[in-house]
Structure 1
Amino acid sequence: MMVEMMAARRESARAMELLAQAIGGFARGGHGGNGGNGGGARGPEGPYSYQDFLKTHPPTFTLLAEPLNAEHWLRILEHKFLLLTVTNEQKVHFVAQQLLGSASAWWDTFNAMQQPDHRVTWQEFTAAFREFYIPIGVLNRKLTEFLDLRQGSMSVMDYVNESNHLS
């Protein structure tokens, strides 16, 4: 009986995996679970284009009153990049197009300060972006808030949400 249940679970898991592949193929404009290439199975797709990135509806960034929104913006973009196979160089180019207003001016200035043949890496971009838009004082204040967080009269769910927000 137990063996049959385990086999049924494996079969169900495999069916779900195939369904997810099929949905992914249709989402990329294909016609089934083979990634839309019209042939047999293939490995991870990529690299993707900027138009593919835009189809994930990435947010734009403008200077905001709340500095931690900058960190939230970066997290969202990191999640978008998980959907696509993009190089670190493409990440920088794609994200630079999402900067608006003074944020775009910051990027232009940052880029102009680099050596002419230097290509800014994703790690350099995120470090510089965080340094500029998320002051260390704000990080220290949020760290203190996180360390001082107590459940008190909050429900468990409210406490978990607050903890996640501060982390």
Structure 2
Amino acid sequence: MKFKELEDFLGTHFIYTYDNGWEYEWYAKNDHTVDYRIHGGMVAGRWVKNQEANIVKLTDGVFKVTWTEPTGTDVALDFMPDEYRMHGTIFFPKWVQEHPDITVCFQNEHIPLMEESREKYETYPKYLVPEFAKITYIGKAGQDNEDVISEAPYPGMTDDIRAGKYFDAPYHRLHK
């Protein structure tokens, strides 16, 4: 599978591990929306659907995705899928660094809490996490596939996905 145009990237499901050991799962749902689950790191257990994002092709096979979460966290990801590499920069507000447990949930059901916490606690200085990552899984899920990120992360989930025990051939969740 080769990536060149934005259409090659959209609808792709990735698992990657940052050099600091944090493991993330991320899905380019369509040209303006991403879903993701966090499996390792200070906010492991967090998952999000329908995050509005800016998704662009920088050059052939290289894609940049940026967004701001309701928490106030800013994210910038650069994907080089043909090289199984990416670079992510996460700008965590001070409150997320000090109270990560507040964000470890299905964010979509807790937007008011994220917004309240963003106003209640300190934002600065931001905790900057710039890291390269190795992409350990690439799946062609197709665009707007609600089965890709459809439940909370569990221990061993990414191993199940990589082993082919999570999705069937048309990329739907097995054993719901």
The alignment's TM-score, normalised by the length of structure 2, stands at 0.24
Q: Which has the larger radius of gyration?
A: 1
Structure with more of its chain in strand, by fraction: 2
The alignment's TM-score, normalised by the length of structure 1, stands at 0.24
